[in-house]
Amino acid sequence: MPFLKHTFRDQTPLYVFVAVLFLVGVIFGALMVGALTLDQQQDLAGYLDNFFVSIHQGNVNESHSFFDITMLHLKWIGLIFILGLSVIGLPGILVLDFLKGVLIGFSVGYLVAQYSWKGLLLALLSIAPHNLFIIPVLMISSVAAITFSLHMIRSRFFMQRNQSLKRPLTSYITLTLAMALLMVGISSFETFVTPVLMQWVTPLFIKV
């Protein structure tokens, strides 16, 4: 598939750009922690206290969580796919990558700021493992979407008007479906394995 070859091998600048954008989002998200008001910090702390107790007691509806987590990840992949089909959606793909970085940066930054080394340990066990797979999947999906969108611009608005989009579109759909299947597997890990990892450290956070 020529389109996939371009996506994985010839789009290094795009991968670097998306990675840098994500890292900027992580930094921005971490800096946002310092902007929280005292009330917001107390609300988050109260929510986390209840969450830690639930995890420690094993009160997690895994089937319900799996469905919710899977749908969340698939919606993210689906939105990137849809934005890639339209030229005007190109900036939206970049916004999603930046937003994902912000969410991870804020989560890790808050845990570290609130709980110091214990928060870092929790982040390493609860946030890092599945995101080590989610981030590459989102990057591949984003670069594929950007590449397809740029391909449409070249074929429709420049000198390649007669070039067919059938093969690139088929490759784009195939890649997106593959990424969606990977997300289902990652969701399984996040649902059934991550809570077990978190149970190892939640006793450190439970107030006696």
pLDDT one-digit tens code per residue, 180-198: 999 999 999 998 888 888 8
The pLDDT, as a whole number, for residue 203 is 85
| 18-57 residue pLDDT tens | 999 999 999 999 999 989 888 988 899 888 888 888 887 7
Cα dist. 138→36, 75, 94, 158 in Å? 28, 12, 11, 29
CA-nearest of 176, 175, 32 to 113 is: 32
Pick 33 or 202 by higher pLDDT. 33
The pLDDT, as a whole number, for residue 103 is 96
| Widest pairwise Cα distance in the chain | 71
> DSSP 3-state assignment of 157?
helix
> Which ranges constitute the DSSP H helices of the chain?
2-9, 12-32, 38-57, 62-84, 90-115, 117-126, 128-157, 166-192, 194-201
The pLDDT, as a whole number, for residue 1 is 47
Give the domain ranges of the chain.
2-204
Q: Model pTM greater than 0.85?
A: yes
| 123-143 residue pLDDT tens | 999 999 999 999 999 999 999
